[in-house]
Structures are given as structure tokens and as C-alpha cells.
Structure 1
């Protein structure tokens, strides 16, 4: 199977002339060099637009790899409905795993958050570098799993600022907002029957959200849901919900 590579440059313009080759950006070029592909070898390229292209290597150099697009493929491997995970960042490097697995399972976006009980706190350049790192993790996961639209990692925000942004934006009721909470929460299967729109899942840190934070989330239309009698870790809970949706949990609930 041909290697799949993400390129940041729009490929639609390049595809207008299928006989004209062009240089791959440095990241994709390095992948082709590591694979030791030679002229005539094929790769699959995607740029986040939803399509992918079969490309043929035309020249291999030490600093440049050139390819020509041969065929465009219209594919849809995205999760429907779209799911955004708003995750209070766990400590250590566990956010890397959340981003990777969320991309594989089909999440559209991740919003990294800081709350009152956060252990990991990022601001300024550190926050920007982490966002860029996580976006790279998402791109690598998309290359591996077949997605043509890599999960988008939003800038790090405080929970209060993010909720304030939701308040300013408003909600016409089409967006389903779920708050993962073991307190006064209904089973996920019960909430999943309500509505058909996109889903936003808010998940807290290791110590959970404070009572005031949960109340603030509820004020923005978040409905508390629980995942069963066991308390899941901060990096397990949002992926459990996403996996349930990706594997047809909504359909199963609607049919029950």
C-alpha cells in the first residue's frame, strides 16, 4: 500500500495540470526519502480538503523531492456527526495519546483547557509550542488511519474563557453539549437520544471540575452524562465517549 502523506499546500491548484511536477514540502519530502522511493514510486497525498491524490515521484534529490499528481480520489472517512472534545489537559504527556486516539476515532477538533484543578498549565510560547506539537501528532495519526481531514487542535485556553466564548457565540440548540460528570448525571445512552446535531464533550482534569465550573458549564447548555459506575481517568473518559459514538452508539440508542 502506498504511503499516505499530508501536505500543507493546496493540491487542487496543482491538480489542474496533471503533467506538471512540483516539489514536496520539507516534511513530506523527508518521509519519501526515508522510504527510499525512487522515480516512478507512488504515494498518496492529502491536504485537509477532504480529497486525496495518487502522486508519482519524478525526481529524488538530497534536498528536494518532486512529484506529479496522477489521480484525484473523493473520499469521506469522517465521523458523522462531528465531535469536538474540550479536554482539561492531563498531566505528563498523556495529552499526546488523547490527540492521537481522538484523531483515529474521528474527532473533528480538540480544545485543550485549563481549569481550577489543572496540574498542567501552559501560557505564552509554551502553549503555542504544545499546540503545534499536538497538531503534528494529529497529522501523523491522520496519515496512518486514512483520514483526509486531520483533527484540528485549538489554542490552549482557560475553561472560564472558553465558556465565555460559547456564551458570546450562543447556541440555537442544534449543538449537543455533554459534560462528563459522575454527579447528578444521566447515562450517556439517555442523553444521546436528544437531537441530531454536532456534539461537544467537556471532560475535566484528574480531580474533576469544581462545583462552580460544572454550574458554569450547565449554564451554557451542557447536559451532565456519566459513563457507568467506575471513575475513568482524565485521558480515558473523553476517548470512551468518542469511541462509543464512532462505533455506532448513537444509532443503537436511537433504535432502543
Structure 2
């Protein structure tokens, strides 16, 4: 059954007009009145719906029934990533959504190749949020991964609350000696570097904010692979 994200609250059974993005998808697939589809608005529920009217400028559907599928990770995981270059960030956003990350924080560090700020950063963030929504539609998630505004690593670290409570913080470092091990906290925050890794000063700053340096094994993983390896481990642990 086709499933689409709707950029408007889905609150109760009844007929509605689809938002522009979802309507375009329905038109491209040439669905007809009576065809079934699944809709979600990012808040958690998934709605079984049926097309009632197709037009050039409007598509109407009848919301039939809402369910609460359980497809999220047991923990709320945020990936803080000093952005990799080229199209690797698109790949990372897509796969992190598929693997269940709750949020992704794009960062700019000392060794960053991809440096974004201002309007260009805002446009990239909007693009990546669209990638996350498309990946949620494909993977069955009803809560797309949230992409945060691009920030400098130093400023982001300085603004973090004091460590502790119900959040575990991990620093993915090829120089670390301790492997990642199970933890009890229900929220997790992982920091990962770009091509070339984080500088010594950046790693020291992360440790000062409560990040435990961990290794993912004897091989050096690419900047877009290491965060996904952690998500895979969490999904299966």
C-alpha cells in the first residue's frame, strides 16, 4: 500500500484535502477514487485512508482509521556528525532515518571539507529534512528523523547541558581503546568526526562535556559509516 507523509495534522476520521507534497505523489502514481493508501504526519499515528476525489489542483481522501505502530528504536538516539563531503551527507541522512535515529545534528569542525553557514546551510537543512521524510515513507517510520540547524562544533559543545541524567554520550574515535558496551540510559548522543577525524583539541572538548571515547573495532570506518554502525548495533542490542 502506498504511504505518504502529510505536512498537516491528521486529527480525526473524515475527508480532507491532501497537502501539496502528498497530493503530487498520489497524482504521479495515478491513484484513483477508491484506492487505499497510508498517511502519517510525523506525530506517531499512521492512518489508513482511501482516495475520494482526484483533481489537477486537489486530491481528497477519507481518513478511515488510525493505528500506533511501534517501529522506533528502544532509545532516542541523536547523531552529532561533523559533516562528510560531497553527497555522503545525503546517504547518511537517508540511512540514519532507516535505522531509527531520532535526530541528526550537522556540525562544522576544524577539519571539515563541507562548510555551510547562513542561507546555504538553511537550504541544505531543508533538503536533508526532505531526504529524511522520503526515507521514513519508504522504511515504515511514522516519525521522520529530525535534522537540526548546522552549527560549529565548538559552539554546539559549549551549549550542551551538563552531562548526566538519562542520556549517555559517546565519542566515536579511532584512537579510543575501549569498545562500545551496553548502557542503561534511554537517550543517547553520539559524536562522530569528518574525513580525517576530530582534532585532539576537539576530542578533549567533547570529553570535557561528558562524552566517553569508544572504538568500533580495529578497522578505520569512513565518516558516513561509523554513525550507521552504531545505529545498527543499537537496533540489535
Q: TM bucket by the smaller chain?
A: over 0.9
TM-score, structure 2 as length reference: 0.97
Taking only aligned residues, the RMSD between alpha carbons, in angstroms, comes to 1.0
1:196-244 residue CA offsets vs partner (Å, 9 max, x unmatched): 2311110001011111100000000000000111111101111111111
Aligned to 1:78: 72
Alignment of 1:1-256 (within 5 A): 2-12=1-11, 15=12, 18=13, 20-166=14-160, 169-189=161-181, 192=182, 194-248=183-237
Runs of 4+ in 1 over 3 A off after TM superposition: none
Query: CA offset at residue 37 of structure 1?
Result: 0.7
**Number of residue equivalences:** 237
Unaligned runs of 5+ in 1: 249-256
Q: Secondary structure at the match of 2:107?
A: strand
> C-alpha separation between the residues in 2 aligned to 1:8 and 1:49?
11
Query: CA offset at residue 51 of structure 1?
Result: 0.5
Q: Secondary structure at the match of 1:188?
A: coil
TM-score, structure 1 as length reference: 0.90
Query: CA offset at residue 171 of structure 1?
Result: 2.9
**8 Å contact kept, 2:74–2:186:** no
Query: CA offset at residue 173 of structure 1?
Result: 3.4
> C-alpha separation between the residues in 2 aligned to 1:162 and 1:110?
13
> C-alpha separation between the residues in 2 aligned to 1:117 and 1:145?
33
Query: CA offset at residue 184 of structure 1?
Result: 3.6
Query: CA offset at residue 174 of structure 1?
Result: 2.0
More helix by share: 1
1:180-199 residue CA offsets vs partner (Å, 9 max, x unmatched): 1122430113xx3x432311
